[in-house]
Structure 1
Amino acid sequence: MAFPFGALMTSSLLFLVVLSFPNVHATGVSSSWKRAAHNVIASNHLINVPKNGGRKFRTGPWKKAQATFYEGGAGSYGGACGYDDVVKDGYGLDTVALSTVLYKKGKTCGACYEIKCVDSPGCKGKSSITVTATDICPPNYGQPSDNGGWCNPPRQHFDLAKPAYLKIADYKAGIVPIKYRRVPCKRKGGIRFTITGNPYFNSVKVSNVGGAGDVVAVYVKGEDKLKWTQLKRDWGQKWETNAMLCEETLTFRVRTSDGRISTSKRVAPKGWQFGQTFVGENLGRK
């Protein structure tokens, strides 16, 4: 997988830099990606904050594609989406790396797909499984799209985490035809907000989101000085702001791709610490 950007450097005047990160799709997550980058985000201007509402996410139509698998583990299957550990972040090992056209520069991270192996002697096991998009399957332009370059644009391809793939297909099959469709995500527990950074830069990882699953906007508000502030997508489901969040009781609001809104009131108490995870209200809970 490939990471959009990450890393920060502060001085007394808060100068910012952007670093690029290596492709670690099949080899594991480099520790360097944990250092987030950011751009200055205005936090004192008035913004229109959406209210709770929206229709429930609906299952999409069946489409045809192909599926392969890749090796890894809980700590590497979520790299391109910013998930440190797909199990701890609520997704288990039934995850998938999407080809470029499906990944959409990280906007589809957290979305759920029902997949079933079809029309192949390599199919086995369950008639279908539901997986969460947590990674990217990068293009391989050195190989033809129909022979090795499975994730080259404009192909819609699913590179499943090995444990998920083995539920629907034989290991020796390697690549199998599938049918897939977007489905609502059913999660246990609430949306998780993990805050990292420092007093001058805050990175918020949003995970375990139900309903549509893919978050398109994140807002935060404090109880004291901090007014509603919209965070900026850093990459995947990592969101950033240089607003002063410290010493504030924090309320988060998220909007998913289907327009639904969830507000998690006062989930981070005053005195919260960087590295902590807070659980709020969810959509499409089990």
Structure 2
Amino acid sequence: MEIFSRVTGLLLSIFFLGARQIRGDEGWTDGAHATYYGGSDASGTNNGACGYGNQLSAGYGVLTTALSAPLFNDGHVCGACFEVKCSWGDSGCLAGNPSIVVTATNLCPQGSNGGWCDSPKQHFDLAQPAFALIAVTLNGHVPIQYRRVSCKRDGGLRFTINGHVYFNLVLIENVGGTGDVSAVSIKGSKTGWRPMTRNWGQNWQDGGDLTGQSLSFEVTTSDGSKITAYDVAPDYWQFGQTFSGGQF
């Protein structure tokens, strides 16, 4: 009986440890706050500082957020995913204290929402439908906890080629894994690999004439993971077109 009790106790301990790990109770950062912007249909949240344009058609939906400057990091965090939840006990929190996963798509500039976005504050200015999933919108502001989480995306990375001859501006969207792109290289079918530079948000630029060549991309995320998407764009690609391939 004594051995049985010890084994049973060990199994229960493993079960509860596993439950904590599955539930993900660790790693939360306290002291942040959230407000919301845009309408109940997430209007007003498009065309932000990450360059994603229409975030609904881009696949990010209404679960998006603008970040205060310390979190936004000059756009390097664009595309990253955060799990956020109301700080339990605040009167504005919804019952059950649900959490949501949102994508960083915009900057909340200094002075916004009465100064909540001012440095050095860690602030999330959520799309209104996202805010409504964790707190009472009538409050307009709640303290929250947050943590970085992996992004789960459907389909491949998307490459939208803008610009003109000798100025290729490529927007990279729908990035899984860490979600934020830290480096990009481009290769034409008649060239070697060339590093691109960040123009703004997740728009990356190259100054070569690549028209008439199929295009390949090597994308690196902030954790060092890399994907090489060969011949994503065929040699007859046109500016303004979007192509997809590969996924983290």
TM-score (norm: length of structure 1): 0.73
**In structure 2, distance between residues paired with 1:262 and 1:74:** 33
Residues 70-89 of structure 1 aligned to structure 2 (within 5 Å): 70-71=37-38, 73=42, 76-89=45-58
Displacement of 1:77 = 3.2
Residues 221-260 of structure 1 aligned to structure 2 (within 5 Å): 221-224=187-190, 226-260=191-225
Q: In 2, are the aligned partners of 1:60 and 1:182 still within 8 Å (CA)? A: no
* Distance change in 2, residues 1:166/1:181 (3 Å): same
**In structure 1, distance between residues paired with 2:43 and 2:35:** 18
Amino acid across the alignment from 1:258:
D
2:61 pairs with 1:96: no
Q: Which residue of 1 aligns with 2:106?
A: 135
**In structure 2, distance between residues paired with 1:110 and 1:206:** 9
Displacement of 1:245 = 1.5
Q: In 2, are the aligned partners of 1:231 and 1:239 still within 8 Å (CA)? A: yes
2:89 pairs with 1:124: no
2:173 pairs with 1:217: no
Amino acid across the alignment from 1:81:
C
Q: Which residue of 2 aligns with 1:105?
A: 74
**In structure 2, distance between residues paired with 1:263 and 1:84:** 25
2:133 pairs with 1:167: yes
Q: In 2, are the aligned partners of 1:201 and 1:243 still within 8 Å (CA)? A: yes
**In structure 2, distance between residues paired with 1:182 and 1:77:** 22
Once the two structures are superposed, residues 209-233 of structure 1 have per-residue CA deviations (whole angstroms, 9 ceiling, x without a partner) of: 0000000101111112x21011110
Once the two structures are superposed, residues 53-78 of structure 1 have per-residue CA deviations (whole angstroms, 9 ceiling, x without a partner) of: xxxxxx98210111000115467434
2:234 pairs with 1:269: yes
**Paired residue total:** 219
**In structure 1, distance between residues paired with 2:135 and 2:58:** 26
Q: In 1, are the aligned partners of 2:155 and 2:247 still within 8 Å (CA)? A: yes
TM-score (norm: length of structure 2): 0.84
Amino acid across the alignment from 2:52:
Y
**In structure 1, distance between residues paired with 2:27 and 2:114:** 27
SS at match of 1:102: helix
**In structure 2, distance between residues paired with 1:223 and 1:60:** 47
- Give me the CA root mean square deviation: 1.8
**In structure 1, distance between residues paired with 2:166 and 2:43:** 30
Amino acid across the alignment from 1:67:
A
Amino acid across the alignment from 2:101:
T
Q: In 2, are the aligned partners of 1:115 and 1:130 still within 8 Å (CA)? A: yes
Q: From the CA coordinates, give the structure whose radius of gyration is larger.
A: 2
Gaps of 5+ in 2: 1-24
Amino acid across the alignment from 1:71:
G
* Distance change in 2, residues 1:252/1:60 (3 Å): farther
Q: In 2, are the aligned partners of 1:214 and 1:257 still within 8 Å (CA)? A: yes
**In structure 2, distance between residues paired with 1:75 and 1:213:** 23
Amino acid across the alignment from 2:35:
T
Q: Which residue of 1 aligns with 2:6?
A: none
* Distance change in 2, residues 1:76/1:211 (3 Å): same
Gaps of 5+ in 1: 1-58, 142-146
Point out the structure with the larger helix share: 2
**In structure 1, distance between residues paired with 2:45 and 2:100:** 21
Displacement of 1:170 = 0.9
